[in-house]
Amino acid sequence: NAGVTQTPKFQVLKTGQSMTLQCAQDMNHEYMSWYRQDPGMGLRLIHYSVGAGITDQGEVPNGYNVSRSTTEDFPLRLLSAAPSQTSVYFCASSYSKGGRRYFGSGTRLTVV
Amino acid sequence: AQSVTQPDIHITVSEGASLELRCNYSYGATPYLFWYVQSPGQGLQLLLKYFSGDTLVQGIKGFEAEFKRSQSSFNLRKPSVHWSDAAEYFCAVIRSDAAGNKLTFGGGTRVLVKP
């Protein structure tokens, strides 16, 4: 019973590098989201998806891309990493709009 | 735009004492309301949620929260804290009348428990 799986758990990038944070869920949830967590700011929504092929922007989408080709996967792409993107990233999924969110264990990203 | 405010950044409470964490939201209609807890280095765990009905909601780990429409508040309470309650707590809301899936979080309240 895996739930929401995020990889990698830790990553260090150099400024300007690109990478993809992976998120997969095995609960057949339609709703998936990406958040970043920074001290004193709680979790801020980056992008979200309400189903395969449908994505939309959250509060802080700049510098990030997403796609949703399958129900299970919702990868987050950093196009050109910047030190301001140093953060902890969480992926979440839910069965319905108001339903309980299941969170992954997070990816700690450092951009130097 | 909706926003969620947790006025207290840090709270220190003695073990066995009561705890109340404040949450206010700025949004016209009643949203879906949530409280999450995050232990150090861990992900988020749902404590409780409110959609409609009884305004006093019971959650896990002995927590409860009360929705007060007139104050746009959803404060979290526990009658007697345990050392294991030391964590960061987040209030979150979803607009009930909007499409999409935007769960908006407050800035969090870090709870320290003194022996």
Do B44 and A90 lie within an 8 Å CB cutoff? yes
Nearest by CB to residue B101, choosing from A48, A90, A105, is A48
pLDDT tens profile A25-47: 999 999 999 999 998 788 999 99
Which pLDDT value is given to residue A103? 92
- Using an 8 Å CB-CB cutoff, list chain A residues near B92: 43
pLDDT bin (cut points 50, 70, 90) of residue A99 is confident
Tens place of pLDDT per residue across chain B (115 aa): 558 999 999 999 999 999 999 999 987 677 889 999 998 878 899 999 998 889 999 999 999 999 999 999 999 999 999 999 999 999 999 877 666 667 889 999 999 999 9
Q: What is the pLDDT of residues A60-73, one digit of tens each?
A: 999 999 999 999 99
Q: Is A35 on the interface with B (CB under 8 A)?
A: yes
pLDDT of B27 reads: 77
B101/A105 CB distance under 8 A: no
Report the alpha-carbon distance of residue A38 to residue B105 in Å, rounded.
12
Share of chain A above pLDDT 70, in %: 98
Q: What is the pLDDT of residue B22?
A: 98
**How many other C-beta atoms are found inside a 10 Å radius of the C-beta of residue B59?**
18
- Residue A55's H or E segment, with its range, is strand A54-57
* Secondary structure in 3-state letters for B13-47: EECCCCEEECCEEECCCCCEEEEEEECCCCCEEEE
Residues 6+ apart with CB under 8 A from B21: B6, B8, B11, B35, B75, B76, B77, B89, B91, B109, B111
B30, B33, B101, B109, best to mutate vs chain A, most A CBs in 10 Å: B101
